[in-house]
Chain A
Amino acid sequence: MTTAEPPDEAATALVPTDSGERRWRRLSLWGLLLALPVTFLLAARGHLEDWWQAQELFEQSVPAGSEIRFAGADWRLETVEVLPLEQSGWPRRQGQGTPVRVRFAVTVRDPGIDVLWRRCRVSLRDDQGHRWSAGSFGGPRSTEGSMTCGAATLEPRAPGTVLQIEQDFTVPNDAAATVEPTVSMDGERPWYLRFRRGG
């Protein structure tokens, strides 16, 4: 029984001798290299899109004093103002911090900024890669009619409207003179604006 067996049947079945079949087998194996990553990308598409929308990857530099079209509006940096401590009230809790108020004049050009500006993020950055998010000092807003970037999305804004966007920050004393404002939102990320400070 064990002596007169033909060459191993299982082995012949697994390794085809037909050249056409061998070719298809090779192609299929190579095909896996494509099929597996594509399957992964399709399955993870939602996550990848969310990640992409949350990143600030590509900087668009805005020279001091100039205006730029971004997320359906024309953005211009008006002031980066270091506030006297007694005016701001809040940062005394952080001892060494300096309150900074940033103001933009934004002219609406697209009727859909309430959608384009979703998850609007205004920050201050320095050259060492630190990023300060906007917070509140708890005091009243300085300018009548000013609003935060997030508040501007609460209702539709007609094209031509000029919005005063104002955000408050607390940064270390030695960084206050050099930090530069950045702006990004769902409608534009991963691109973001970085406003250069003149002089």
Chain B
Amino acid sequence: MMRWLGRLAALLVAALLLLAMQWTTPVYDEMVAAIPSGGQIGDTVAARKFTIKVETIQFARQLRFEAYGKEEVRDTSGLWAIVTATLAARSETMTVNDAYWEGPTGLLYSHSNRLAGVRPLLAGALLQPGLPRRGWFIFEIREDQARGATFVAPNAGLAPLDSIVRVRLGAGGAGALPILDSLDLDRMPGAIE
């Protein structure tokens, strides 16, 4: 009788173990997920192939710039978020093709594609080792996603087991968000040519 009870208990334990393993099995995407390297504004954060230092964040309702000899204006029903950063390749020539603004509720904004012709955009810029570039990542976001956001680059889905950077963009104080009505990108300090 005791032996049967023992066997039953062993069976139950085995079943429970199997269930626990099944519940906690990571999906393939999690097993090969990108490895985040974190930091905040002002830190130089290093990924495997590049380093980034996010310097300032600015918000504006409208952007003005000159592109291909023409004055351009871009309005938005949300906000323009301009991330000024210095980006540097570590050992090989490379590009950072994607960057994201991850809002406090998890909304993920890709960098804007409405700004063709703005010169020192960093997304897709060719980075040579030893030649860091200072410029902007510009996002078009919803106003409630401005505080407590995280800058993420490059695309985590395209970097399995590689590193990505996650830069916390400030906790977001209680005061009103400093939002410019209009920002002239050509007059903005920071772009080095």
Contacts and interface: CB of A to CB of B under 8 A. Distances in A.
B91 A131 contact: yes
Contact of B92 (A95, A130, A135, A170): A130
A131 B92 contact: yes
A23 interface: no
B129 A131 contact: yes
A92 interface: yes
A94 B133 contact: yes
Interface string A158-182: 0000000000001110010000000
Contact of B131 (A92, A94, A123): A94
Interface residues of B, number: 14
Nearest to A96: B131
A97 B128 contact: yes
B129 A170 contact: no
Interface residues of A, number: 18
A172 B92 contact: no
Contacts of B131: 94-97, 170-172
Given A2-B3, A130-B91, A131-B91, A95 B128 contact: no
Interface string A92-121: 111111000000000000000000000000
A170 B91 contact: no
Interface in B92-128: 92-93, 119, 126, 128
Contacts of B91: 129-131
Interface in A132-187: 132-133, 135, 170-172, 175
B21 interface: no
B193 A135 contact: no
Contacts of A171: 128, 130-131
Given A131-B91, A131-B93, A133-B92, A92 B193 contact: yes
Interface of B: 1, 3, 91-93, 119, 126, 128-131, 133, 192-193
15 contacts: A2-B3, A93-B193, A94-B128, A94-B131, A94-B133, A97-B128, A123-B93, A129-B91, A130-B129, A131-B91, A132-B128, A132-B129, A170-B131, A172-B130, A172-B131
Given A135-B93, A171-B131, A175-B130, 10 more contacts: A92-B193, A93-B119, A95-B131, A95-B192, A129-B91, A131-B91, A133-B93, A135-B126, A171-B130, A172-B128
